[in-house]
Amino acid sequence: MTQVRNVDPAKILFENNKPVIDDIDTKETLKSACEILQHNDIIAFPTETVYGLAANCQSTDAVQKIYTAKNRPADNPLIIHVSSREMITETLGAEIPPVYEPLIKKFWPGPLTIIIPLPQKSTISPLCTKGQQTFGCRMPAHPVARALIEMSGLALAAPSANASTRPSCTEAKHVLEDLDGRIPLILDGGAANVGVESTVVDGLSSPPKILRPGGVSAEELRKFGGPEWENVISEVNVEVKDSDSVRAPGMKYKHYSPKARVVLLDEDFNSIELKSIGGSPKKIALLRSRLIEASSIERLWPNTKVIVFELGELKSQISHNLFSKFRDADNENVDLIVVEAVDTSDEGMAIMNRLNKAAETHVHAA
């Protein structure tokens, strides 16, 4: 059985990057988690983006347990999480290219992953990089994540702590739903704040590229990254074949999907097309933000129960709630989920990336 233990992020402070923990239970739980990691096993832990599934990135045996627990495709790389810049240079022996300095100054710790060249004699498990000569790295802001990494002394490979293809986990109970019995421990530090994974950027290319949108928007990259990031482009919609190797997770394969079918709707969607695609559902979930009313769905299926889940009106609220509401809809045993599309400005790029990965189809305006 998987054990779930509470940790209190409010009781963790940092002095000179060292955690100071004013709670005996939280301290002892973190020590236990560190011992599990140091013995090359895996645990789930909270970050500000989503819950992560952690292993010592320098142990191939430990990293393999991540792939096994998640049933993750074998060619999908992993992001390395560190608690300090020194962990990159001293523990991993890598160098941070100067192009990232403005972004690191603004967004670390935080939801930004940078692509870094592998050192010549890398100690990172090849299971993390999958044949690439680069690796993704970030410094999480969540106090529990930072403390865990620093106390363990390990750089942690950590994808999202969900079963592969399922919606990412924003609460400990979601991890337990997917991975109960597959991992020894889940640290419960409350709900994730951001709700979608980190933004992954490649500053080694010219112009720089967004490989995966997330908690830092393209607008923020352009604003704070300096001249080299003013023309950052997105590879989000670039078609990636199953045979292609990728530099970041989330660039191929179906992702973020609930058990029910998902259909994405524009405002003033083509109701005839939706009716045709939707078939004869017995129960429908509407994930709405501000434009689409339940009545517009109920008119198409007058004898079908429609359950409304509010995502919020602000994009920050939508990104925070999206994965959790997907799971809530599944728990209601709906067989069709219709969800409202958003524009791609600011957090919208990350939201639409997840929705397009999850959805079977997109019904546009009539």
Q: Taking the model in full, what pTM does it have?
A: 0.94
Q: Tell me whether residue 160 is annotated as binding.
A: yes
Query: 341-360: per-residue pLDDT in tens?
Result: 999 999 999 999 999 999 99
Domain spanning 3-234 has what CATH number?
3.90.870.10
Q: What is the dihedral of CA 257, 261, 262, 268, to 10 degrees?
A: 180
Alpha carbon of 312 to those of 78, 127, 269: distances in Å?
31, 38, 20
Q: Tell me whether residue 138 is annotated as binding.
A: yes
Q: Which residue ranges of the chain lie beneath pLDDT 50?
A: 243-244
Q: Tell me whether residue 331 is annotated as binding.
A: no
Residue 13, both tokens: 């402070």
Q: Tell me whether residue 5 is annotated as binding.
A: no
Q: Tell me whether residue 72 is annotated as binding.
A: yes
Q: Tell me whether residue 51 is annotated as binding.
A: no
Per CATH, the homologous superfamily of domain 261-363 is Threonylcarbamoyl-AMP synthase, C-terminal domain (3.40.50.11030)
Q: Tell me whether residue 290 is annotated as binding.
A: no
What does the domain layout of the chain look like in residue ranges? Answer: 3-234, 261-363
Provide DSSP, 119-133: PTT--S-HHHHTT-S
Q: Tell me whether residue 67 is annotated as binding.
A: no
Q: Tell me whether residue 89 is annotated as binding.
A: no
Q: Tell me whether residue 212 is annotated as binding.
A: yes
